[in-house]
Amino acid sequence: MNKVFASPDAAVADIADGLTVAIGGFGVGHSYPNSLTVALRDHGARGLRIVANSLGGGGAHRPQILVENGQVDAVVVSFSARPGMPSPEEALVAEGKLALEMVPQGILVDRLRAAGAGLRAFYSPVTVGTPLANGKEVRDFDGNDFVLEHALPVDVAFIRGWRADRYGNVQFRGSSAHFHASFAKAAKLAIVEVQEIVEPGVIPPHEVDLPGIFVHRVVQSTITLGAAASKMKRRAPESGREYFGKPALSRSGIARRAAGLVEDGDYINLGSGLPTLVAGHIQGRGVFLHAENGALAYDLLDDPEEFDSDFFDAAGNFIRMRAGGAVFDSVVSFEVARSGKLSSVMLGAYQVSGSGDLANWATPGQIGGGIGGAMDLAASGAPVVVVMEHTDSKGRPKLVEQCAYPLTAPACVKVIVTDLALFRWIDGRFVVEEIAPGFTPDEIRAVTPMSFDFATDVRVLGDVELC
């Protein structure tokens, strides 16, 4: 048996027009099967339906090039747009030239996993109360609503591994396993590109991450992209926004206060953006960070000389695993999240309502957006802590009585940490427990059109000692 093909071009040569093609990869540019994607572009198959977490961002090697080349009629993705980044797919959807289906990240991986397991459908707590549940069957189990999700079989899957043998056994490396195995299992034809092709037996049986029975073709990567060494732990300016002519907490100060909510022994997930800064304030503590792409117990890197492109978190930051840490695929990662194993989830938000509703994936009038893993995390039952500035970049309130933005999850937010105040959900209502230095309760009310109370003893925001 020899599943090795001479080149990516040879491996994709018989892909016909109109097929559904799942393409692995995470974030803007991590561990995409670039060689196979470029080969498919050059092959020219058209009328394709692409299934992916994301089509990547920019560059000449990621799935987005298939859209730009006019080969794609429909996409099924968790991200169709990212803040501050041009999105050709969003533009084509707006013109009616591209069909779009948005799927939460964890549900996407489980729909493909279900297809690979021969299951036709399953019920999920994710998307309940959001626009993505519209038109779907909702059923009550033990007093809670669950949405019916259908399996997502595909014709072809492109995945990327570290090593494979000629039987098709694949080994992944670091936190770059994420979607690849579930994508391959859902496909009639699974093609893997790898950095190294080895003889059978070189990969020990207990280190095979994807058995060869799920893989049909193996090719050597011909396009190797160097990772951006500049993508290190994000730093924030020490100066904050001004309200009423007075400085509020800086972004670093917000993150530091949020870190004070975390106890040693906690397992926490940090969302992209401002919540990522919390990692810098828990380093050296017994707190275990969890990432949706498949990592547990890690620290973000500072030194660009130390980065390894196979080790990254869900926000695309390069990481160093701690002693006792673990890496796995996204199937396991979302099992951790949705089973309620996390101590807390820290997310950013566009809006939070007075009922604790969270909106953080799309703006009104936007066709798609960026769901990522937020819906799965918010539906997990773990306490959701929103970490954000009090108003948006145009000075509009983000704490409102009712969300005008599409919901990520209803009634899930338990704590809000902003640059002006800390709110905690107590007995069905938000209560302000801390206010930024120099600000008054009346000023907090003036910029917060949301129902809330003040604690009897309001403390100074940020006045906390980290363990």
Do residues 393 and 451 make contact, with C-beta atoms less than 8 angstroms apart?
Answer: no
Q: What CA–CA distance (Å, rounded) separates 80 from 72?
A: 14
Beta strands 399-400 and 384-387: pairing type? unpaired
Distances, alpha carbon 194 to alpha carbons 53, 163, 228, in Å: 20, 5, 20
Q: Phi/psi at 38 (nearest 5 deg)? A: -65, -40
Q: Strand, helix or coil at 62?
A: coil
Do residues 404 and 427 make contact, with C-beta atoms less than 8 angstroms apart?
Answer: no
* 242 belongs to the catalytic site: no
Strand stretches in 1-53, DSSP E: 20-23, 48-52
Do residues 212 and 142 make contact, with C-beta atoms less than 8 angstroms apart?
Answer: no
Q: What CA–CA distance (Å, rounded) separates 317 from 294?
A: 13
Q: What CA–CA distance (Å, rounded) separates 21 from 176?
A: 20
Do residues 361 and 80 make contact, with C-beta atoms less than 8 angstroms apart?
Answer: no
Measuring CA to CA, which residue among 385, 89, 137 is closest to residue 255? 385
Strand partners, 397: 391
Q: What CA–CA distance (Å, rounded) separates 371 from 368?
A: 9
Do residues 100 and 368 make contact, with C-beta atoms less than 8 angstroms apart?
Answer: yes
Which residue of the set 89, 292, 433, 434 is catalytic? 292
**Identity of the residue numbered 444:** I
Q: What CA–CA distance (Å, rounded) separates 116 from 385?
A: 35
Q: Which residues are catalytic?
A: 292
